[in-house]
């Protein structure tokens, strides 16, 4: 490859300057909603709760990162930091018994769907008290009784399972929908396209959501896939949407509308939510593919800081109350670390358990 061509191919996006010398963004964020929480039908308590949920996800992972660096546990650790508005806005928008399935960047999803900080931290430590009995680790958080089906490591591998959840809901006529989250790195996987085809053909009540966080490992979205992601479903005649994922109200507003429509019409949707991950792909990522400036640019749109400023400006609550919440969350996470450290590892026999379902698992065991 000619030297110039090679450089253009591998230069970090943040250093890549457009025609006007501006930094080209790896993901362009659409405008956030201008509606207030009241206009969106959210109470003061709801939005304070949203703050607490997002803050818990953030502090849990920041502490998990420290513990990993101290060598307290090993394996993979992919952090969701920066993307918390997507999980939180969605969980507030859909019903508690609607299904959620996601890829391996799953801690935030587990926490906001009822995995406790203790169960989550113990899972990272590989302890028997973890949400997957210590046998899954970071990539396999789950809480089936809360309709959170987990955490999957094979890129795109879980998408047909998401379609299957929607199929089961339709078959059982239970009025539930499924939501299936995937990364931008999964949009060219055949499994996605096979599932979109069957979903449209069979009118499955599922929302397929791409969390476009700018990168698939070290490759910018602009460099690994062609065109606009949200337009991919056009070939299947499937409805689609694109919106900002750094603002929890925007996620809430859009996901609520889409979920209502999916439930009413029993038809799938394909959604692209643009967001940004602050940390590396996993703990072993030197992040040479992006600049400090690019990262700082997106950190200015931080979803937690944004909501905090809103809560104070609109006098929904005051700084003191938010500080109390922060302290409470911090305590919860520290207790979770103690719990994880003191918990036992699974017994050897556990290796042979949970291999097969004992009985067909229907959503509610009637
Ligand atoms: C089928 C398959 N191919 C490759 C990998 C290795 N791999 C792990 S994560 C990843 C990047 C996926 O990026 P994206 O879908 O954007 O998710 P993100 O990490 O940004 O959340 C790759 C290629 C894998 N796990 N599975
Ligand atoms: Mg990605």
* Residue 162 structural domain: 74-282
CB of residue 186 inside a 6 A radius of ligand 1? yes
Give 183's strand partners.
Answer: 211
pLDDT digits (tens), the chain, 366 positions: 566 655 555 555 544 444 444 455 778 999 999 999 999 999 999 999 999 999 999 999 999 999 999 999 999 999 999 999 999 999 999 999 999 999 999 999 999 999 999 999 999 999 999 999 999 999 999 999 999 999 999 999 999 999 999 999 999 999 999 999 999 999 999 999 999 999 999 999 999 999 999 999 999 998 899 999 999 999 999 999 999 999 999 999 999 999 999 999 999 999 999 999 999 999 989 999 999 999 999 999 999 999 999 999 999 999 999 999 999 999 999 999 999 999 999 999 999 998 887 766 555 554
217 Cα nearest atom in ligand 1: 11
Closest ligand to residue 281's CA = 1
Asked whether residue 326 is assigned to any structural domain, the reply reads no
157 Cα nearest atom in ligand 1: 1
CA 45 to chain centre: 23
- Nearest by Cα to 51 from 281, 326, 318, 267: 326
User: Distance, CA 28 to ligand 1 centroid (Å)?
Assistant: 21
Q: Read off φ and ψ for residue 353, nearest 5 degrees.
A: -95, 160
104 Cα nearest atom in ligand 1: 21
Residue 39's Cβ-count burial label (10 Å; 0-12, 13-18, 19+) is exposed
Asked whether residue 167 is assigned to any structural domain, the reply reads yes
Asked whether residue 47 is assigned to any structural domain, the reply reads no
Asked whether residue 83 is assigned to any structural domain, the reply reads yes
3-state helix, strand, coil in the chain (%, to 5): 45, 10, 45
Tally of domains within the chain: 1
212 Cα nearest atom in ligand 1: 16
d(CA 364, CA 341): 34
Q: Read off φ and ψ for residue 315, nearest 5 degrees.
A: 55, 35
Which pLDDT belongs to residue 16? 44
The answer to whether the predicted template modeling score (pTM) of the entire model surpasses 0.75 is yes
User: Distance, CA 104 to ligand 1 centroid (Å)?
Assistant: 9
User: Distance, CA 304 to ligand 1 centroid (Å)?
Assistant: 26
d(CA 39, CA 48): 16
**Domain of residue 91, CATH code:** 3.40.50.970
Which pLDDT belongs to residue 15? 42
Asked whether residue 188 is assigned to any structural domain, the reply reads yes
CB of residue 155 inside a 6 A radius of ligand 1? yes
User: Distance, CA 104 to ligand 2 centroid (Å)?
Assistant: 11
Signed CA dihedral, 182, 185, 191, 192: sign only: positive
Asked whether residue 235 is assigned to any structural domain, the reply reads yes
Asked whether residue 245 is assigned to any structural domain, the reply reads yes
Asked whether residue 131 is assigned to any structural domain, the reply reads yes
Strands (E), the chain: 99-101, 178-183, 206-212, 215-216, 219-220, 239-244, 269-274
CB of residue 216 inside a 6 A radius of ligand 1? yes
277 Cα nearest atom in ligand 1: 20
Ligand 1 pocket, mutate which of 180, 185, 245, 274 (most atoms under 8 A from CB) = 185
Is residue 130 within 8 A of residue 124, CB to CB? The reply is yes
Which pLDDT belongs to residue 357? 76
């Amino acid at each position: 490859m000619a030297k110039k061509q090679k450089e253009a191919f591998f230069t970090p996006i943040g250093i890549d300057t457009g025609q006007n010398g501006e930094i080209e963004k790896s993901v362009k964020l659409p405008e956030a909603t201008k509606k207030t929480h009241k206009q969106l039908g959210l109470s003061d308590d709801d939005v304070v709760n949203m703050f607490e949920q997002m803050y818990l996800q953030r502090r849990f992972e920041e502490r998990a990162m420290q513990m990993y660096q101290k060598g307290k546990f090993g394996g993979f650790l992919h952090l969701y930091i920066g993307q918390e508005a997507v999980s939180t806005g969605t969980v507030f928008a859909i019903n508690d018994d609607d299904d959620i399935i996601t890829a391996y960047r799953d801690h935030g999803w587990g926490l906001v769907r009822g995995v406790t900080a203790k169960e989550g931290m113990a899972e990272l430590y590989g302890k028997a008290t973890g949400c997957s009995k210590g046998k899954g680790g970071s990539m396999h958080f789950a809480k089936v009784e809360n309709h959170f089906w987990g955490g999957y490591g094979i890129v795109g591998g879980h998408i047909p399972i998401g379609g299957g959840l929607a199929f089961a809901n339709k078959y059982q006529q239970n009025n539930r929908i499924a939501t299936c989250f995937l990364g931008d790195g999964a949009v060219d996987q055949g499994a996605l396209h096979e599932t979109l085809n069957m979903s449209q053909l069979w009118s499955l009540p599922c929302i397929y959501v791409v969390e476009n966080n700018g990168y698939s490992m070290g490759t910018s979205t602009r460099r690994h896939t062609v065109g606009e992601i949200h337009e991919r479903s056009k070939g299947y005649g499937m409805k689609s949407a694109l919106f900002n994922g750094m603002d929890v109200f925007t996620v809430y507003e859009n996901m609520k509308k889409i979920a209502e429509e999916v439930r009413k019409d029993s038809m799938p949707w394909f959604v692209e939510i643009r967001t940004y991950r602050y940390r590396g792909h996993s703990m072993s990522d030197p992040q040479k593919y992006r600049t400090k400036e690019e990262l700082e640019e997106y950190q200015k749109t931080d979803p937690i800081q944004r909501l905090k400023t809103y809560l104070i400006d609109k006098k929904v609550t005051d700084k003191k109350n938010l500080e109390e919440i922060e302290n409470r969350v911090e305590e919860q996470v520290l207790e979770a670390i103690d719990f994880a450290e003191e918990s036992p590892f699974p017994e050897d026999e556990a290796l042979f358990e949970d291999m097969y379902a004992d009985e067909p698992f229907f959503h509610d065991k009637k």
